[in-house]
Amino acid sequence: NGATNAGLVAVLLGHPGTGLLPSTHRTLLMSSIGGQLNTAYSGLGGGLHLTDLDGDGMDDVVAGAILYGSAQGRIAVFWGSTGSLTAGSFMFSESEMGGMVENYSAFGQILGSGDFDDDGTIELAVGLPSQKINGHDDAGVVFTADID
């Protein structure tokens, strides 16, 4: 969109027998999901993770917008589906995962996933190594959440 450090995620779609074709690329922006983060200094793509969060057999794209709001960060989830990555996509913040939002925490930079509670569904993990905990600077924290 021309905004400084707004960021984006470029995806090349693979096809059986032909592999990756530049003509099939998709560009993911925060505006793709109606977000407010299509602004300068949101840093979309500063963290990136692929996983099947909703259990539909298609990988979903989890992208951190790590510079958003004085580097407080946000996470965008782009649901995977046949030929598309944006249907029903959404974004969320650290406070929506139960955390206390801090400037310069870069929420969304460190991402992972797994079935952490052995319930058969994939959870998202977000690490914040510089998070202040109980008055201790840079103590760090990992949040996990069911995102489906």
Q: What value does the mean pLDDT take over residues 30-57?
A: 77
Q: How confident is the model at residue 114 (pLDDT cuts 50, 70, 90)?
A: very high
pLDDT at 83 over 80: no
Contact residues for 84 (Cβ-Cβ < 8 A; gap 6+) = 26
pLDDT category at 37 given cuts 50, 70, 90 is very low
Q: Is the pLDDT of residue 27 over 80?
A: no
